[in-house]
Every structure is written in structure tokens, then in C-alpha cells.
Amino acid sequence: MYTEGPLLILAGAGSGKTRVLTHRIAYLIEEKEVKPWNIMAITFTNKAAKEMRERVNAIVDFGAESVWVSTFHSSCVRILRRYIDRIGYENNFTIYDTEDSKSVMKEVLRRLDLDPKVYKDRAMLAKISSAKNELILPEEYERNAARWEEKKVAQVYHEYQAQLRKNNALDFDDLLVRTVELFRAEPEVLDFYQERFRYIMIDEYQDTNTVQFEFVRLLASKYKNLCVVGDDDQSIYKFRGANIGNILGFERVFPEAKVIKLEQNYRSTQNILNSANEVISNNQGRKAKRLWTENETGELIHFRQFQNGFEEAEFIVGDISKKVRTEGCQYKDFAILYRTNAQSRLFEEKFLIANIPYKLVGGVNFYARKEIKDLLAYLKTVDNALDDLAVQRIINVPRRGIGAATISRVEEHAREQGINFYDALLEADYIPGVGRSLAKIKAFTLFIQSLRSQEGYLGVKELLEKIIEETGYVKELEAEDTEEARGRIENIDELLSKVADYEESAEQSTLSGFLQEVALVADIDSVEEGSDYVLMMTLHSAKGLEFDHVYMAGMEDGIFPSYLTITGGDSSELEEERRLCYVGITRARKSLTMTSAMQRMIRGETQYNKTSRFVREIPRELVDLGRDAITARNYSKPSTFGGAELPGRAYSAATFKPREFTVKKAESLEYGVGDTVRHMKFGVGEVQDITEGGKDYEVTVDFERVGVKRMFASFAKLKKL
């Protein structure tokens, strides 16, 4: 076994990397007689650390409890508690959680007299967190701030850190940043821990960011006994700050490093692995490896294309039900994976109708999500203002300056007068103590009355769109500019699709009818909690898990990979999406089914999408197309599949015209070189160049957040500012 010097273990999916790490620790202690307290093992989660410690305890007779097994953050806390006074903090520092950080940020924005509607606390915290992940301190951030917006962020960053220091507090990112600062400023402290941890092991190395890398590099720089385990093909957390360059560039930082590849997979069938290998081989930024197994060849990859999302959900739920009935499977053997949480809605509805137990991982049930409950509460208030719960939920959502004290006075008045909460709001003139909130209450009730007066001639979808637009609900989320906010916007788009579905299918669509339908679907009490249920989750949530039978839904260009990834012109973004697909494929032990829809409701509008390029990258001989298995309908019009012909559903050219990614060149552009524009994903930037092509204009923009991007004008939809 290679125990001295730097070691990179490229551990492919299902290759047993946790076993490798634990047995390496045991070997160091029992065979090489390394003292247990000289060994450090770092994982990303407390659960993984606990599992590793238990495994080491099971195979090591003596001393396992002295091995330092923890997460990055836990390790840093232990170090800082002892030595942080060396860099100007008290050792009894407070660790601020997310809510604490938000409270500090709100105070900072108030002190700097910055409008919280423009400078969102979450957006500011996200920008500061990104800077800390890259080890960029306020001073450097300020030096590099070229644009006015960046200078404002630098100002906020300075003040935020000043407040933390005044409070003798660290946020989560600071735990790593301050430890690196300590090591750099105090060589003797660094030397102490270098002597203490002569053998260092890092799990999931592909998920490390810049500050984590620097922490590890400093600790290992003396003895260089650093063993990192990871899989560059499973690096899928770029949006959280993960830097794939850490694993790809390991040998550049440690030229003497030994590289070992673990390519044998103990999880999946060979056909599943062959498919995964073929897909991931299309990435350029990776280390070459090819998974193999001694397991059976197994079933072909099942691909099914449907007319729409309803048919897709119906098939998957029906297929699960059939396998449970006829093949002796349990519900827990199945997982449905998708790109975004918003895609769960149709599956949830079908499971409830079929009375099949399910559980959402990494999210809450669609109709229980905050943004969905908020918007449904608006619709309920319009439909029935007697619903006190609904009215109280939305009276200050989004925030309109109606505080808890005012709401309490209105509630008290309602009780005294024996009327409902909304009627009490209409009588706000007569409620003592309302004061400055009176105008805001009147604006709210006027808005609701206006919606109620329009309910008779507006459709449910139009009504919901009006609520979204006039409350600024989505605009507020857009301003946050975080991954969470973008996910919530996708959920709202899915709600609009649900409304459009209802209006299309209902004999007579009414607001009351829609709310009734939602209420029946959203009643999940009938689903008993237990261990035997189908799991549904995003592909990101699935990492590290495995299932006998996996369904990857929504395999269409425009969904996975996303429309913005395809049109953004950044190849690294597409490679990240392909790695995510690779993770999904390798979750399956026995069977993998991929599904797509020829048309899909998105934001309440029908879109026509091509089969995902990731599906088309799987060789035809590895795929079962299910010519007769899906439906009794005839297939007639072929579509391309990995160089072969893929049967598609019969359709009339008059009624079905694929529109996705069709370029329609504009007569002229509203912006020119030098103009400032806004892109829905990349934010604000300056137009550097416009090239007139045959079919479309090609526009080059230098964006403030993401740098230079080239894109087609018709896809980019840039807005001049």
C-alpha cells in the first residue's frame, strides 16, 4: 500500500471509496504503527464522519477513537477555539447561523442607508459567501471592484465583517477563512498541527472549494502525506463554490503525487456502466477512466418518449405499480430523479391518485412549499375573504410594512366586533393604534377588492399572473439572485402550468373549482409514513445514494440540460450538467429508465423540446426503445437517436411544429456596442461586440458577475438598461 507522500485516488461511482479510506486508516495504525492521533480524516457531512468513525472502530482493535474524524467546519472550530486569540478574536467566539447572518446583514444595510428592496440581504450574503469561498477578503474585493455595483458590495462586505468582529462572531464561511488566516499569520500554530496531523485524508475531494483546498495544502505542506479521494466525474456543486480544478490540478500542486484509479464498480450492471461511460466521455475537463463490473450485463437502458408530461408521469407511476404487483419489488426499491424540484408536481398527483406512498427528499411536498402556499393564499382570499388564515398569511407577503403589532390590533378588533379578520381590515379607520400602517392596510384591501371585482371575467391563470405581477413576488425573488430563489421561481412557473392544465381540462373553470381540486390533491394525510415508499428527488440530492430501479424524468434539451446552459455559450456549464447526468445514471443497480415528453407545459405555456443530448449520447445498441411497450398507438415519424433512428409518435405537421431553439432574426436590436444590458441569468453587463450572421446576431457581453459570454440575440433576450 502506498502510504507516504501525496496520493490521489480517483474513485469512480460505486467503487467503494469509503471502504478504501477506512481500511487505509486501519492499515496505517496496525501495519505501519502510525499513532492514531497523527491521523486526520475529513468528510463533508457529520453523517459521513460518524459512519467513517464507526467503520474504523469495527476494524481497529485499539486507538480508533483517537483518529481525528470530522468535517471541515468542525475541524476549524476546534482549532480556532484554541488559537483564534492570536488573530484578534476572543476564544469564546459565537458562531452565527444563516438567520443570525441575515439579521446582521439587515442591520448593515440599514446603517449604510441602502434600500432593502434593491439590496437584498440574501443576495448580499450570497456574494460575500462566494468571495470567502475564493479567499477574497474585503480589502481585495474592494481593490478589484471595477463597477459601481461591485463597489457597493465591497462596502457592505467591509461593514458586515466589522459587525461580526465587534460581536466576536464568525459565520460558517469565516470558520475556514479565519483558520487559514491563523495558519498564515502564526507559523508555530501551523507547525503544531502539521506535527499533529502527519497523515491527512480527504473524502469527496472534487467538492472542495478554494479556501478548503488552502486549509488542506497548508496542513499537508510539511510531511506531504496527503491522500485525497474523489471523482471528478461527480463534481456537481459548482453553484455552491466547489472548484473542480482542485482535483484536476492535484498533480500540478503536488508533482510527486501518485495516482490510483478505482474503476471497478460493485453497484450496477455493465449496461448501466457502459451508458454512463459513453455519456461522460463527451466531457473534455476530466481524467480518463472507464467503469467496469463483475456484475451481470443486465437490462438495456429503457427510453420512453411521450406526448406530454402527464403521459410521462402516468407511465412511470404505472410501471412502478406493475413491478410491485408482478415482480415482488417494494416501493423503496424505486427512485424518480429530475433536474428541478418543480418537476415533482405531476408525479405527486399521480401517486396520490394511485394511493402509492412516496417521499420527497431535499424538499417539501409541492403544495406545502412556501411560495406555493403564499400564492394560493392570495387566490383563497380573492375567492373567500372569510378565510382568516389565508388573509393573515399574505397581509405582509411580500413585505409591505404591516408589522405584528398592527396585525395583533386588527385581530383584537375582529374579536371585539365579532367579525372576520378581512372585514376588520376594512374598518381599519376605527381601530386605535394602527397609526402609520393605515395607508398600507388600505392599499392591501384595495388591491384585494380590485382582484375580487375582476374575478368574474378574468381566467384563473390571468388572475394569478396579475397577483404575481402587482405584488412583485417574483421580482423580489429575482433580486435575491440565489440558487434557492431560482428554485422557488421554478415552482411558481409550475403552479402557473397547473392552473393552465386545470383551465384546459375543466368543463367550466372557476377559481373555486381550481382551489377545490388543489385542496384534494394537496391532502397528503392518506400517505402513511413508513420505510416503504418511492423516493423522489433532484439529481443533486441523489448523489451518494443507490436504488434497484431508477427513473430519470424530463430528459429534454431545455430542461436537462437547461435552456440557459445550452444558449449561454459556457462549455463548463454544459460539462457540469453532463456530470450531473452521469451521477443520475450511476445511481441505478438493476434498471434505468429515461423519459422525455415531446411537449411540456412550462410557465403555463406549451413548449416543444428535443430529446436531451445526454440521451442521444448513449449508443443505440445499449437502449431499449419500447416500440410496442408504451402504448398501442402507432409510431410513424422517426427522430434521431445517437446516430440511429428513434421512433416518435405519429403527429400532424399542422398541429405539431417543433419550436424549441428555432431562430427568428430580429429586424434590428434595441441595443448597440457599449450599451448596458440585462440577461435573465447572468445579470447586468456591457455589450462588447455584435456580429451579424445569416440567421441571427451574435452578441458578446461582459457581465459583471460571470465575465464575457457570447450568445445569439434571439435566445439571449437582452434588455437595454
Look at residues 613, 679, 608, 683 and name the one whose alpha carbon lies nearest to residue 643.
613
Do the beta carbons of residue 679 and residue 568 sit within 8 Å? no
Active-site residue (options: 159, 171, 204, 232)? 204
Q: Which helix (H) or strand (E) holds 310?
A: helix 309-326
Decide if 232 is catalytic. Answer: no
Q: What does DSSP assign to residue 668?
A: S
Neighbouring-strand partners of residue 537:
337
CA dihedral sign, ordered 253, 254, 256, 259: negative
Q: Which residue has the cell 441505478?
A: 588
Look at residues 146, 156, 148, 147 and name the one whose alpha carbon lies nearest to residue 126.
156
Active-site residue (options: 3, 18, 607, 700)? 18
Instruction: State the number of CA atoms in the 13 A half-sphere of 379 facing the CB.
Output: 27
C-alpha span between 617 and 604 (Å, rounded): 30
Decide if 238 is catalytic. Answer: no
| Angle ∠(557,346,618) on CA atoms, nearest 5 | 35
C-alpha span between 496 and 490 (Å, rounded): 10
Q: Which strand ranges, in their side-by-side order, compose the sheet holding 68-71?
A: 68-71, 39-43, 199-202, 226-230, 7-11, 258-262
Q: Which residue has the cell 485524508?
A: 201
**What is the secondary structure of 585-638 as a DSSP string?**
HTTEEEEEEEEEESEEEETTEEEE-PBPHHHHTS-GGGEE--TTTS-SSPEEEE
Neighbouring-strand partners of residue 260:
9
Q: How far is CA 212 from CA 261, 471, 692, in A?
A: 23, 41, 45
Could you tell me which residues come within 8 angstroms of residue 469 by beta carbon, excluding any fewer than 6 positions away? none
Decide if 702 is catalytic. Answer: no
- Give the CA-trace dihedral at 26, 30, 33, 37, to 10 degrees: 40
Do the beta carbons of residue 407 and residue 542 sit within 8 Å? no
Q: Which helix (H) or strand (E) holds 646?
A: strand 644-649
> Radius of gyration of the chain from Cα atoms?
28
Do the beta carbons of residue 179 and residue 215 sit within 8 Å? yes
C-alpha span between 574 and 577 (Å, rounded): 5
Q: Which three cell numbers stand for residue 153?
A: 458590495
Kindly report the length of the chain.
Answer: 721
C-alpha span between 260 and 200 (Å, rounded): 17
Active-site residue (options: 17, 120, 350, 590)? 17
Decide if 3 is catalytic. Answer: no
C-alpha span between 434 and 405 (Å, rounded): 9
Do the beta carbons of residue 444 and residue 463 sit within 8 Å? no
Strand residue runs (E) in 341-483? 358-360
Q: How far is CA 548 from CA 12, 146, 272, 297, 595, in A?
A: 19, 52, 12, 15, 17
C-alpha span between 225 and 203 (Å, rounded): 15
C-alpha span between 617 and 281 (Å, rounded): 9
Active-site residue (options: 121, 159, 174, 203)? 203
Q: Which three cell numbers stand for residue 341?
A: 424540484
Q: State phi, psi for 492 to the nearest 5 degrees.
A: -65, -40
C-alpha span between 120 and 208 (Å, rounded): 27
Q: How many helices (H) and strands (E) does the chain have?
A: 28, 24
C-alpha span between 152 and 127 (Å, rounded): 11
Q: What does DSSP assign to residue 194?
A: H
Look at residues 319, 370, 309, 320 and name the one whose alpha carbon lies nearest to residue 344.
309
Active-site residue (options: 22, 208, 210, 234)? 234
Positions annotated as catalytic residues are 17-18, 203-204, 234, 587
